């Protein structure tokens, strides 16, 4: 183990939010980068959904896959795609999928993310790509064929999304930290590739609104190491004796939570 910490001294560790949340109004007026499970449950109750259902989880997963496909079709970098998925999860904190079209919200998130990450595409071009992905065997839609009503609907959702974000566009992605961490602790291409893919797949879940990016990255590296060891007994996994919580500026219970059997299922999902 050598070198200094890859994170700046003022980088926040895994947050512990103690403020009581009792109304949806306080969430909408103040941007919160991360939420505890209790706060997430409160938000679900405010939407009158109760606990997150299997149907809602499946809808989120399908929407994130849809966003991934659209992003690839448009030639977006992974950063833009992951930002789109993170925006979708944040919108879903406050608005029920029963009240809004998951597809339209996905398109809105792609449109806004393209602006945030400076990979801007015209809304009509995005809708053309949506049609191509949704109907791969049909004739490609021309931009002029996009209805004005559809365009106005997406613009309306864009305003809602921006209000949900409180116009705070500071997003960090775990796969950016994965590369830095692995170069620092164990320069392994196999480990980097596996952990990077896990970090990308993590956006199919709500982890991005529960934990900071560097903690998710740490969990992905830890999980990738264990998975590779299971596949190849000769692989040199991360030694459990090391104080990874100090190296990654995260709590060990959170890191191990991502690398437990349940954590593995959560990150890998149905990818």
Q: What is the pTM of this model?
A: 0.80
Nearest to 197 by CA among 171, 224, 173: 224
Task: Provide the residue ranges of all domains of the chain, joining segments of one domain with +.
Answer: 24-165, 174-268
CA distance 259 to 266: 10
144: CB partners within 8 A, 6+ apart? none
CA distances from 97 to 62, 85, 102, 159, 166 (A): 12, 15, 6, 17, 21
Q: Do the Cβ atoms of 250 and 214 come closer than 8 Å?
A: yes
Give the pLDDT of residue 64.
95
pLDDT tens for the 271 residues of the chain, in order: 444 444 444 444 444 433 444 344 444 456 777 788 888 888 877 766 555 677 778 888 999 999 999 999 999 999 999 999 999 999 988 887 778 889 999 999 999 999 999 999 999 999 999 999 988 878 877 777 778 888 899 999 999 999 888 787 778 899 889 988 888 887 688 999 999 999 999 999 999 999 999 999 999 998 999 899 999 888 888 877 788 777 777 888 787 765 444 444 444 443 3
Domain 24-165 CATH class label: mainly alpha
CA distance 82 to 225: 23
Give the pLDDT of residue 107.
96
The CATH number for 174-268, chosen from 2.80.10.50, 3.30.1380.10, 1.10.472.10, 1.10.150.170, is 1.10.472.10
Give the pLDDT of residue 22.
39
CA distance 98 to 83: 23
Give the pLDDT of residue 145.
76
Q: Do the two domains 24-165 and 174-268 of this chain adopt the same fold? A: yes
């Amino acid at each position: 183990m050598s070198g200094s910490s890859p994170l700046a001294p003022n980088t926040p560790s895994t947050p512990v939010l103690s403020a009581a949340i009792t109304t949806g109004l306080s969430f909408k007026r103040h941007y919160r980068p991360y939420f505890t499970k209790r706060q997430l449950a409160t938000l679900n109750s405010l939407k009158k959904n109760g606990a997150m259902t299997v149907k809602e989880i499946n809808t989120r997963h399908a929407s994130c896959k849809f966003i991934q496909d659209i992003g690839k079709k448009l030639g977006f970098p992974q950063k833009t795609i992951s930002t789109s998925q993170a925006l979708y999860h944040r919108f879903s904190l406050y608005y029920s999928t029963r009240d809004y079209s998951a597809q339209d919200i996905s398109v809105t998130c792609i449109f806004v993310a393209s602006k945030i990450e400076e990979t801007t595409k015209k809304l009509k071009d995005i809708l053309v790509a949506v049609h191509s992905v949704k109907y791969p065997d049909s004739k490609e839609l021309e931009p002029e064929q996009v209805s004005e009503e559809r365009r106005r609907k997406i613009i309306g959702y864009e305003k809602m999304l921006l209000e949900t974000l409180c116009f705070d566009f500071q997003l960090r992605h775990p796969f950016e930290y994965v590369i830095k961490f692995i170069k620092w602790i164990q320069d392994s291409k196999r480990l980097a590739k596996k952990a990077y893919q896990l970090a990308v797949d993590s956006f199919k879940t709500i982890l991005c609104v529960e934990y900071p990016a560097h903690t998710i990255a740490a969990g992905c590296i830890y999980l990738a190491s264990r998975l590779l060891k299971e596949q190849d007994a000769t692989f040199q996994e991360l030694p459990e004796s090391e104080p990874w919580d100090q190296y990654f500026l995260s709590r060990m219970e959170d890191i191990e939570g991502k690398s437990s059997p349940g954590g593995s299922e959560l990150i890998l999902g149905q990818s």
